[in-house]
Amino acid sequence: MNSWLFLSLILAHVIGDFYLQNDKYCAQKEERKFKSWFLYVHSLIIGVVSWVVVPVYEFRFYALAIAFSHLVIDVIKTYSPKGLWNFVIDQVAHLAILIIVIFSFDTTTKLPIQSMDCNGSYSIPLFILALLLCIKPANILIKLVLKKYQVGETQSCENIKMQER
């Protein structure tokens, strides 16, 4: 397995799936399902970002496959019950596709991400990935986990008022 290809595609996925779409567009996908124009734009963005991080001519078909599979997975997700497991299964499905691509596409070309590495002492791309994962995806995951334990606002306000007396 080419670890640089893996890191490149994971970075592309995180950037495309979490940072290049906002809550408004996600809500539109949920509401309009496969009729949402953003669903198609989002999948195209995923494919383009994947090809940008792996700018090898032969990778264009793999980038299209990533975009198409992302579209299919996201359409299925819009018809699934919302919540933690929907999010986890969605991300695992996207990751599985990327792993299939990594084992299918063999490149000896030096990828752009490799030029960002600091001679093995530490990996700037890996640090960037860790940072990006800690900001938005972890936030979404924590919110979904804690949603089950969320206390109703009126109940907590009543408890505070009772304690003030």
In tens, the pLDDT along 65-97 reads 999 999 999 999 888 888 888 889 999 999 999
With CA atoms as reference, report the closest residue to 124 among 18, 1, 4, 19: 4
Higher pLDDT, 121 or 32: 32
As a whole number, the mean pLDDT across the chain is: 84
Q: How far is CA 5 from CA 47, 93, 159, in A?
A: 15, 18, 53
Q: What is the C-alpha separation between 92 and 97, in angstroms, rounded?
A: 9
Handedness of CA 71, 73, 79, 82 (dihedral sign): negative
